[in-house]
């Protein structure tokens, strides 16, 4: 019988409905975000009305930093993995990320990479990596992210050969002039075949392979709410060492970002 990890390496998507633990986590995350922005928690999905897109990005910086170092997500992840029969010490994770997808932001050139269809493996993420995504508020049918199921394990045209992890870490933002970091993406049209648009109530979460082709769906300018979510990445160290993981047929990036991932405890 395949393990839950192997099912995900084979392209399965796992959806976990909201629990007391995830509702508590989301509640604390909302309060922290609201405190960082100085707004009432209930108004967070309308936060784009208070700032321009550029100003909102800057205003979110303290919240992003706080979330990245937030031990509560590590503790919650550890408890969840134990519940699946895992040993916590076998796992590492990257700093959790906060995503606020504001209506109309998809039209901003600077924000364009956030909407590229991509595999995380094109960014030198290991093929045994599992992505965890959890919305802080309800996500409508067209408001979440899309996973191109039939592109799993199938090569598609992309420019991941431009991505070198060592260069990415050293260059880019500090260099004079506009940022030069490459953001690998799907080249050509959206793949045909089946896809899934992830949506639902707050505090559920999705787990999927980093080798799945996926993209954030832009919020139309007339939308009332921003989409607010948290996500992070998990790697089983034993699987990584053994070379296990998802098929990764078209990745030409170089490096291994998981070298910097941290244990869930300590």
Q: Which is nearer to Fe ion, 120 or 143 (CB)?
A: 120
| The length of the chain, given as a count of residues | 266
Q: CB of 198: closest distance to Fe ion in angstroms?
A: 12
Candidate ranges 12-20, 90-98, 119-127, 250-258; the one touching Fe ion (CB under 5 A)? 119-127
- Min separation Cβ 212 and Fe ion, Å: 9
Q: Which stretch binds Fe ion (CB under 5 A): 34-42, 116-124, 159-167, 250-258?
A: 116-124
Measuring CA to CA, which residue among 207, 63, 183, 199 is closest to residue 115?
A: 183
Cα–Cα distance for residue pair 180/166, rounded to 1 Å? 14
* Interface with Fe ion, residue 94, by CB under 5 A: no
Geometric angle at alpha carbon 110, from 109 and 113, rounded to 5°: 90
Q: Where are the beta strands (DSSP E) in 31-181?
A: 91-93, 97-101, 130-135, 145-147
Tell me which H or E stretch contains 17.
none
Beta bridge pairs of residue 155: none
State in angstroms the smallest separation of the CB of 190 from Fe ion. Answer: 16
Interaction of residue 120 with Fe ion, rule CB under 5 A? yes
Does residue 37 contact residue 60 with C-beta atoms inside 8 Å?
A: yes
The answer to whether residues 213 and 121 touch, using CB atoms and an 8 Å cutoff, is no
Q: Which is nearer to Fe ion, 70 or 208 (CB)?
A: 208
**Closer by beta carbon to Fe ion, 86 or else 120:** 120
Tokens coding 53: 């897109």
Contact flag: residue 248 with Fe ion (CB under 5 A): no
Q: Smallest distance from the beta carbon of 187 to Fe ion, in angstroms?
A: 17
Please say which residue, 120 or 250, places its beta carbon nearer to Fe ion.
120
Q: Nearest to Fe ion by Cβ — which residue?
A: 120
Query: Least distance to Fe ion from the beta carbon of 159, Å?
Result: 15
Which CB sits closer to Fe ion, 99 or 225?
99
CB of 115 to Fe ion, least distance (A): 11
Size of the site for Fe ion (CB under 5 A): 1
Return d(Cα 255, Cα 109) in angstroms, integer. 27
Q: How far apart are CA 242 and CA 240, in angstroms?
A: 5
Q: Residue 146 or 244: which CB sits closer to Fe ion?
A: 146
Residues of this chain that interact with Fe ion (CB under 5 A) are 120
């Amino acid at each position: 019988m395949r393990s839950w990890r192997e099912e995900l390496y084979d392209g399965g998507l796992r959806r976990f409905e909201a629990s007391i633990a995830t509702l508590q986590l989301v509640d604390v995350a909302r309060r922290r975000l609201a405190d960082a922005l100085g707004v009432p928690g209930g108004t967070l999905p309308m936060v784009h009305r208070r700032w321009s897109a550029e100003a909102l990005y800057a205003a979110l910086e303290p919240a992003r930093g706080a979330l990245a170092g937030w031990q509560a997500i590590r503790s919650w992840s550890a408890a969840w993995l134990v519940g699946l029969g895992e040993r916590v010490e076998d796992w590492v994770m990257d700093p959790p990320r906060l995503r606020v997808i504001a209506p109309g932001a998809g039209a901003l050139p600077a924000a364009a990479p956030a909407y590229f269809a991509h595999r995380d493996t094109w960014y030198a993420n290991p093929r045994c990596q599992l992505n965890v995504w959890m919305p802080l508020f309800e996500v409508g049918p067209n408001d979440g992210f899309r996973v191109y199921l039939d592109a799993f394990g199938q090569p598609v045209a992309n420019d991941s050969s431009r991505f070198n992890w060592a260069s990415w870490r050293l260059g880019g933002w500090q260099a004079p002039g506009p940022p030069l970091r490459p953001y690998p993406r799907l080249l050509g049209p959206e793949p045909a075949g089946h896809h899934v648009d992830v949506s639902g109530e707050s505090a559920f979460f999705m787990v999927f392979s980093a080798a799945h082709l996926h993209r954030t769906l832009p919020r139309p300018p007339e939308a009332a709410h921003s989409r607010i979510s948290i996500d992070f990445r998990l790697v089983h160290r034993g699987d990584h060492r053994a070379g296990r993981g998802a098929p990764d047929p078209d990745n030409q990036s170089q490096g291994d970002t998981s070298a910097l991932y941290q244990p869930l405890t300590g």
